[in-house]
A and B are shown apart, each in its own frame.
Chain A
Amino acid sequence: MDLDDTPEQAAYRAQVRSWLDEHRGEAPVLQGPGALEDEDEIVAARRVWQGKLAEAGLAGVTWPKEYGGQGLGPIEQVICNQEIARAKVPGILDAIGVGMLGPTIIAHGSEEQKSRYLGAMLHGDEVWCQLFSEPAAGSDLAAVQTRARQQDDGSWRLTGQKVWTTNAQFASYGLLLARTDADVPKHKGLTMFVVPMDADGVTVRGLRQISGEAEFNEVFFDDVALDEGAVVGGVGNGWGTGLTTLMFERVTIGLGSEGMGYNSTRFAGAIARDAHARRDPEVRHQLGEIASELLAVRFTGYRTLTALQKGQTPGPEAGLAKVTIVAGAIKAGDLIADVIGPDALSEDSEWAYMISFLPGLKSAGGTEEILRNTIGERVLGLPPEPRLDKGIPFSELRSKEGAAA
């Protein structure tokens, strides 16, 4: 058991650190004096910065070399993330593309798709978004209703709606899960597509949340034309292709969970600044309980990393770390705001923003209830809930649901 770098890892870290030391002045400033404020400017600056990181080999660290990556392991990716955080510069803008969607295309895409899309994605020239969730298909993702119909010439027509789409307002492409056959059971009739976000019939609308800000978007598709080559991973194989994306999502969460800023150091710092609260046994007890669990998540991340290094794939149990982080951060927000009082809820307060963001985050990537079902079944081996949709063609599900209601 060892938490230190091997000599090779230390050398890699030194190399990353020296590049960052030399180039940090070129990074966009997002906080503090001189920070960029205009969203378009921020996006443009962060795209340029991503390009520089990619040129230096600090983006797509685990991507194969033939697609512009470094062909290194997850540990080097983590070292890179740690050093970027240490240098206090922004990371890549398109973490979703490079972390989840690119690897999906590498695994399932055609050679043509790989050579067309991957380089531009990695360098931030084209930002991507993930078009999976829908208003009626979140935890039950295979229930997507966005419909793609193949035309006589082999091209497709796409109609439907997606939601919770990060970065859609400036994305060039989206990876979209659509129903292509409604007459087979729901997991079977799905297909994955590449969708140009500037195509006719695509509408992106910001989705304001509790904080008043729009971190996500709704995306509407009205008879959007897609050519035959837009299919990723084969017609009818969309579920398997999507599972690859979700697996990379778990890897991303497992390796970067502390990056969200929900960690024991930050929360303890807030309590430490209040001379009375830091000596209040009840406050300390609550802080201790919250912080212990968040500390545990840091080391769960290291366990995940150990497994990845050994070539193992993280399973759904990584979802438990997400449950712990969100629950811990919610309790911490309540505790800190209880200590500070109404001022914690002022508009420019970091705590007000966090408190507003967390209720939604609880359901992101699948609701906590569904995560607990999946873990109970896949990790503990408990029997599944009886379900009404097994083996039923998707087109008949609606009437069945109506009858059951």
Chain B
Amino acid sequence: MSQTSPDAAARGATATAHSADTIILDVRNTSKSFGGLRAVDNCSFTVTRGSITGLIGPNGAGKSTAANLITGFIRADAGQIMFDGKDIAHLPPYRVALRGLTRTFQITRELERMTVTENMMAAPHDQLGESFWLGLLGLPAVRKQENEYLQRALQLLRDFDLYDLRDEYAGNLSGGQRRLLELARVVMAQPKLLLLDEPFAGINPVLASRLSDYIEQMCREKGITFLIIEHNLAMVERLCHTVIVMALGRTIAEGTMAELRQNAAVVDAYLGES
């Protein structure tokens, strides 16, 4: 595998001055069992603000459960999940999203019988018109906001090369286009932290490379922190400076890919297995 890209290294360097507010996400001793299985077992890790952090581990390591715990789709049995200084472990998913922590799903999920533009327009959180009365009355303030969001949506669609598909039903898009739309949609929601669950699974290398460019661009230009769960280690190495390794529900190591490759526990749990 190649060396960590200079871009990622630079980002890591600026983020090394650790202090409380450079940590955007702090998972503390979190556990979750399903029946007798401890899917996430006293797991702790942190994500640095402004970073692109990877979360890797063999199948069954508890990564997806961790993602569901962080985003509120599953409630933790124990532990804290501090996001932006506040415990979000007991919030329902929509409240977590409103705090600025948004996610994508392992299998892309679209609002299929809504157009690409509508998928984008559904994303912003503070829409006045989503209140029943304001929406019904369609006051000038609502229309103005709607217009602004439409312009932002179209701009983002252009950035993601989906502009020509704006009036297409999301359900008619190809797999790759769905990935792009899903990313564009969560970016539209203007999150502080974006959790991507296997964004590179099942897409061709060309698109994967483009997707990773978008992720770096969104991190740089919009200041979004990324936490990426991924099996494609080449992509992880290319994108992420810090990588967290999970195995059997726990974090077993953290560092750059280069460091991790020297780590016996990691090699044992994961990298050595192939």
Partners in one complex: no
